[in-house]
A = this chain, B = another copy of it.
Amino acid sequence: MYNKFPGKDITEEDIKSKIPLVANFSKEPFEIAGVVFNGKKIPVMAGPNMVESEELIIETAKSVKASGASFLRGGAFKPLSFPYRNEKYTETGLDGLKWLKSAREEAEIPVITEVMEEKHLDAVCDATDILQIGSRNMQNYPLIVESAKTGFPIMLKRHYGASLRDWLGAAEYALKEGCTKLILCERGMSIPHTHRATSRFSLDLQVVPATQEITNIPVATDPSHATFWRDWVEPMTLASIASGADSIMLEVHPDPENSAVDPLQPINFETFNSLMKKMDSVAKAVSKEVI
């Protein structure tokens, strides 16, 4: 009477013919820049939305590392919904990449940053340890293919309007081109406005066990972008850990109210430090650890 995947789009046939590499991803722990994924410890990626300046990114790198973060995050390139920029609200591009390199060196912490165009791949690879494909590029298959060809680890964010099936289809492109170190990241889905409880996006934690049912690719969540609201970052981060998330990405800024973009969502250093401890407590309750 009931099929195996009621109400789900992914069939056994899909698993065989459309996402075989995703379905057979090894469950063995793997390392990126010395950090283990799929192990007992949950890696945390933290930093500002934008790499605003060299000082800011170095300061942040040192602080998040001291609190236990495994990666520094920060965008030098970023898809912005409108073409106009001003002095503050702007991408820092190649400068941003240079500052990320300084921060990586000074704070001795590996880096994850977004790549938006094939022509920037060399420059981005020079500054990062993981190539982030942003949610708006999840269906930009040529970019995924070219990124995979570099041999770099990739983190593929889910588009806010993408099904698990489409997301794993995009992941299959990366694996097929030889990517062996892949991470998936849920960053909030769009929900009907009549449901609007909460914010622009809604963190889809149900996708964590749903994904893990099909693949061993680690699943991260990004509660900052999903909630778009500082006060909800903590509960949704802890909930992510309890739901089984394999990694956490957080927006951390020395002066959140004055961050260049989305000033309502970053948390400051002190909050991050205290949240790391709470994450660790919840993680231990589910036989994992964060610090």
Contacts and interface: CB of A to CB of B under 8 A. Distances in A.
Given A137-B140, A282-B285, A285-B284, A206 B198 contact: yes
Contacts of A238: 242-243, 285-286
Contacts of A163: 193-197
Kindly report how many copies of this chain are found in the complex they form together: 4
Given A161-B190, A213-B231, A232-B209, A6 B200 contact: yes
A187 interface: no
Contacts of A213: 231-232
B172 A83 contact: yes
A140 B117 CA distance: 9
Interface stretch (A30-38, A52-60, A61-69, A74-82): A74-82
A18 interface: yes
A235 B228 contact: no
Given A83-B172, A206-B226, A227-B206, A161 B18 contact: no
Q: Which of A163, A169, A200 has the most CB of B within 10 A?
A: A163
Question: What are the nearest 8 A-B pairs in CB distance?
Answer: A161-B161, A193-B193, A164-B197, A190-B194, A242-B242, A239-B243, A281-B285, A136-B139
Given A83-B176, A195-B204, A197-B207, 19 more contacts: A6-B229, A81-B166, A116-B142, A137-B139, A140-B140, A161-B195, A163-B196, A164-B198, A193-B193, A194-B201, A197-B204, A198-B204, A206-B232, A206-B236, A209-B231, A209-B235, A213-B232, A236-B243, A239-B239
